[in-house]
Amino acid sequence: MELHLSEKETIPTRKHKLIEYANGPSLEEINGTIEVPKNLNFWKTLFAYSGPGALVAVGYMDPGNWSTSITGGQNYQYMLMSVILISSLIAMLLQYMAAKLGIVSQMDLAQAIRARTSKSLGIVLWILTEFAIMATDIAEVIGAAIALYLLFGIPLVISVFITVFDVLLLLLLTKIGFRKIEAIVVCLILVILFVFVYQVALSNPDWGGVIKGLVPTAATFSTARSVNGMTPLSGSLGIIGATVMPHNLYLHSAISQTRKIDHSDEADVARTVKFASWDSNIQLTAAFFVNALLLIMGVAVFKSGAVRDPSFFGLYHALSDTSMLSNGILINVAKSGVLSALFAIALLASGQNSTITGTLTGQVIMEGFVHMRMPLWLRRLVTRLISVIPVLICVALTSGKSAIDEHTALNDLMNNSQVFLAFALPFSMLPLLMMTDSAAEMGHRFKNSLWLKVCGWVSVIGLTVLNLIGLPDQIAAFFGSNPTATQTDLANVIAWLLIAAVLALLVWTIYDLHRGNQRYAAKLAAKAKESAE
């Protein structure tokens, strides 16, 4: 089986410049740098391959997930538990495909798309994906800034600026090696998991209701009943939108290549795919439990309907307000301030984890789509400075208003920023599915099996349709929690124009990818014919 980097020749990278040309291996500094010993038992081999899955799982438990899961639990009890489960299963499927693409083709998703599409489409998709990463970064800025404010009393404006200096943390991490970065991320995930396991264990939830909620019903996606401005459908879309995010697919296709592989040995490639899948599924299972625990918190930790402020501020204060908690054990622990402090610590850990993965993803898409490379610290500094602008504007506009108005505005900004994910998601999922379905790209052994293909297309089409269906409500949310009829009509017009633009761009993308794949298949056939002669 012939493996490839690109149809174009690789041009040597110019050194000692902030912005350089890059058309080599994905994340070249760490690509293939981690040795994996052969002939180890299953568990030791799994440990050697473990790490990339943790970096991917971070995106499934970032600050953007917290509000949707907890609010969903508050409003609809355990009904939306099935949505978390379905989202997690789809995530496992897509992340497996992303890792397989990187390992087998030796290209990350951005490189694969760019190698099979025109330059103009590549630039359009790069800009779209950059917006999606920045939207995710806004949630990280808000989460980290609020955590600093809650833990140390640092004013919000100063806390927002402090988040810019996490670039110094990134500089430190780049010096210690990728394997240690993976270990740090795993430790932070364990901190988050411990905090929520502890809080949920104290709350003694209805486990029968939890298990029953894992089975979806017609009511799960209903629009008939609205609670606090949320219908089951909008709550489901919020959870799905915050869970399955495009940048994770680009990231996984790149960092799955950090292990050293003999690509001339098909068995070694197959072994790497197998253990990358195990690593990813284990870590995403942990992410599922974190998101499930968040929803259970909304149901079991607080009294039903007690939390009127769903922002991080409101949740923090609710964990120290004994009148809002659901049982005596929680009330006694809350008096010490432990519950609220642990919540803020977990929030800070989540934000720092996302800092690491967001920066790596940004570098992947920049190198893959437009063949540009800049130092990770500079990349982080630029994107973070852009991302803090809307947060600072939001804080400034609400500075003269009540605390609850400020909290609500920040929470709305975080939720509304996720609208870009609805645009970008189809442009990562569909190319990923088309690439991994192709024997020319993956070889007959590694292309998707029939059941993977069916599950993949159902998932991709289903998620795309749900995201587009939810777009009018997401646009309307920019006008506040109670938009007027005129604003709702305007939101619908804007949404349908955007949907038309998304569909047109999708057609362009699919057409370009199909033609590019045909050209590559013809090239392989011509080479095979020449060899036979």
Higher pLDDT, 498 or 354: 498
Position 481 confidence tier, pLDDT thresholds 50, 70, 90: low
Q: Which of 145-154, 399-408, 419-428 has the highest mean pLDDT?
A: 145-154
For residues 338, 342, 348, 353, the Cα torsion angle rounded to the nearest 10 degrees is 160
Residue 259 within a domain: yes
Structure confidence at residue 5 (pLDDT): 42
Q: What is the pLDDT at residue 7? A: 41
Flag whether 359 is in a domain: yes
pLDDT at residue 229 is higher than 80: no
Average pLDDT, stretch 463-473?
A: 80
Q: Which carries the bigger pLDDT value, residue 11 or residue 302?
A: 302
Residue 10 lies in a domain: no
pLDDT of 348 over the 70 cut? yes
**What pLDDT does residue 12 have?**
40
Query: 302: pLDDT confidence band, cut at 50, 70 and 90?
Result: low
**pLDDT at position 9, please?**
37
Domain count, the chain: 1
Establish if 73 belongs to a structural domain. Answer: yes
Q: List the one residue out of 501, 499, 495 whose CA is nearest residue 475.
A: 495
Residue 313 lies in a domain: yes
Among 9-18, 55-64, 256-265, where is mean pLDDT lowest?
9-18
Question: 72-91: b or e for each residue (b if 16 or more CB lie within 10 Å)?
Answer: bbbbbbbbbbbbbbbbbebb
Kindly state whether residue 474 falls inside one of the protein's structural domains: no
Provide the pLDDT confidence category of residue 174 given band limits of 50, 70 and 90: low
- Is residue 108 one of the residues assigned to a domain? yes
Do the domain assignments include residue 520?
A: no
Name the residue range of residue 175's domain: 22-421
Confidence band of 6 (pLDDT split at 50, 70, 90): very low
Position 11 scores a pLDDT of 34
CATH number of the domain residue 204 falls in: 1.10.4160.10
DSSP for 400-434 reads TS-HHHHHHHHHHHHHHHTHHHHHHTHHHHHHHHH
Question: How high is the pLDDT of residue 308?
Answer: 64
Report the share of the chain in percent with pLDDT over 90: 23
Per residue in 124-169, pLDDT (tens digit) is: 999 999 888 888 888 888 888 888 998 898 888 888 888 877 766 6
pLDDT band at 472 (very low <50, low <70, confident <90, very high): confident
Give the mean model confidence (pLDDT) for residues 422-442: 88
Determine the residue type at 512: D
